[in-house]
Chains A and B, each alone.
Chain A
Amino acid sequence: MATVLIENLTKIYPPTITYPHRVQALGGVNMSVTGNVFVAVLGPSGSGKTTLLNIVAGVETPTSGSVRAVQDGVPAQVGYVFQEPRLLPWRTVLNNMLYVQDRKSDRSRREAEFYLTMVGLNEVAHLYPSQLSAGMQQRVGIARAFLVNPDILLMDEPFSHMDALTGRSLREYLQRVWLHTRKTALFVTHDVSEAVELADRIVMLRPGGVVFDDIPVNLPRPRHPDDPAVRAVEGEVLRRFDSMEAAVRFGAQAG
């Protein structure tokens, strides 16, 4: 069983020539994620969501605190879906998939084709990224993350650059693949309806990178954004989001 244990995680960026001030991205985050759950990390810009994910992925180091991402006691394999697809432009779709695999065998090729089929892209496996639409490229990004058979799946606002319709269809693809694999997932977003539609639990971060709230979402899957139950939870999350913003504003005024 995969576990992500985050304890008192702090990240402070030092001053730079262009911005001569320290920036606190995370201010002591504590949270844990265990088992086959889909957790959404929700917060406004500047709340350290991406930083949190990068530290869990191991591509950034924390200033203090610790992150343990393990699967049955050993370091977990991570799959990452970024804001932009981050595909290698000189490789075909299929070769982009195979790039993240250690073994280049017939089996890994079949697995790549399987996940491409899951996101409806097996027909374009031989094309280059520049020949695909932005939505199709992001679907490749999703398929690639699942291909490494990750213990933990990290997603950093993967639909934020998409138009509403594309974003909606991508969410459906993601739900479909996730329901098939049931990987432990950490999904960063600033979109409340996206979080409610996809997550089992919503962790709200406030600016400065502090956990403000932790809301369970007990709704059956697959979910649809027009479902009244989904809308009701969305309303509740929005209410808490507003109270967080009010608290932040009040804190700023008091300070």
Chain B
Amino acid sequence: MLTVPSVTPDAISELSAREMRRAMARRWLFRFSVLIGWVAFIVVWYFFSRVVFNPRQLPEPHVVAAESWTIITEQDFRTHMQASLFRVLAGFLLAAVVSCGLGWLIAYNAWWRTLLRTIVQFTVSTPIVALAILTLVVFGVSSLGPVITTAVVATPYIMMNVAQGLTGVDRRLIVMSESFGRTRSQIITGVLLPSSLISVLAGARLAFAVAWRMELLTEIFAASEGVGFQIRRSFESYDVRGMIAWTVLYIAVMLIFENLVFRQIERRLQGRTA
């Protein structure tokens, strides 16, 4: 005969409390291991700075930190960071708008698909340094060059993901919508856009990361202000400290932006598209 052990509410709450404690412990362990990783990185940096190179070639972490603080407190920091941010965002938004249209064409038109795939292959495989130099030749030293080049480099990533998102839409949901008499625009806003959102977001995230790198590189060659321009100036005066400090600040702003925008959107979408 099968006997079922009796489970009291107290036992259940004790069990869930124990599970909760274990989960918290695992979370803190994970955070601690990340911290250890950062400490190890800084130790290795010190090692390379003092033993492998010399502090003038590779400044020590605390020197870079002090230089970063000096840059932040200067008036120039805001001007240059704002200029770079504006170009990244402008280039990215331009890419996003163009990509949505082109992604749609790739998803639903065979002729455009063939044509644009070739262009994508060409753009993705072109070294970004070559594109940065080309920007200098075509646009000269201006704000427009970095924006356009950033858009050109970011477009394929969003475009292909928009196309993938649209072709991956569950056809059955469209049939359901049609059977209930939903109009074309209702199906686009109610089914097509939300179902391709995850794929589009993944593409946008990748494109955004590429846009930051491209923008910085283009500024180094073809800009009179911005973080890239400041890195070039530091390089010209052999100020390695300044070069690394500006790069670190640029990466920090990029990470903050990434966390504030994309990760938040992803968190909101989690569980709803399963």
| A86 with B176: CB separation less than 8 A | yes
- Residue A212 at the chain B interface, CB threshold 8 Å: no
Q: Using C-beta atoms within 8 Å of the partner chain, give the interface range for chain A.
A: 20 to 34
- Residue B173 at the chain A interface, CB threshold 8 Å: yes
| A58 with B172: CB separation less than 8 A | no
What is the predominant secondary structure among interface residues of chain A facing chain B?
Answer: loop
9 A-B interface contacts by CB (under 8 A):
A58-B178, A59-B179, A78-B180, A80-B180, A84-B172, A86-B176, A90-B269, A90-B272, A148-B181
Residues of B within 8 A of A (CB): 172-173, 175-182, 190-191, 194-195, 197, 269, 271-274
Chain A CB within 10 A, most for which of B178, B179, B190, B197: B179
| A58 with B179: CB separation less than 8 A | yes
B179 interface neighbour in A57, A88, A99, A128, Cβ under 8 Å: A57
User: With A88-B190, A90-B194, A99-B190 in contact, do A80 and B272 touch (Cβ < 8 Å)?
Assistant: no
| B178 with A59: CB separation less than 8 A | yes
Chain B CB within 10 A, most for which of A77, A78, A86, A130: A86
What 1/0 flags go to A82-117 for Cβ under 8 Å of B? 101010111000000001100000000000000000
| A89 with B272: CB separation less than 8 A | yes
| B178 with A77: CB separation less than 8 A | no
CB distance from B181 to the nearest CB of A (A): 7
Please, which residues of chain B bring their CB within 8 A of the CB of A54?
175
| B173 with A86: CB separation less than 8 A | yes
| A80 with B274: CB separation less than 8 A | no
Chain B, Cβ-Cβ closest to A141: B176
| A88 with B194: CB separation less than 8 A | yes
- Residue A79 at the chain B interface, CB threshold 8 Å: yes
CB distance from A86 to the nearest CB of B (A): 4
Please, which residues of chain A bring their CB within 8 A of the CB of B175?
54, 59, 86
Q: List 9 A-B pairs, minimum CB-CB distance, nearest first.
A: A130-B274, A100-B180, A80-B179, A86-B176, A57-B179, A90-B272, A90-B194, A59-B178, A59-B175
Chain A, Cβ-Cβ closest to B186: A99
What 1/0 flags go to A48-90 for Cβ under 8 Å of B? 0000001001110000000000000000011110101010111
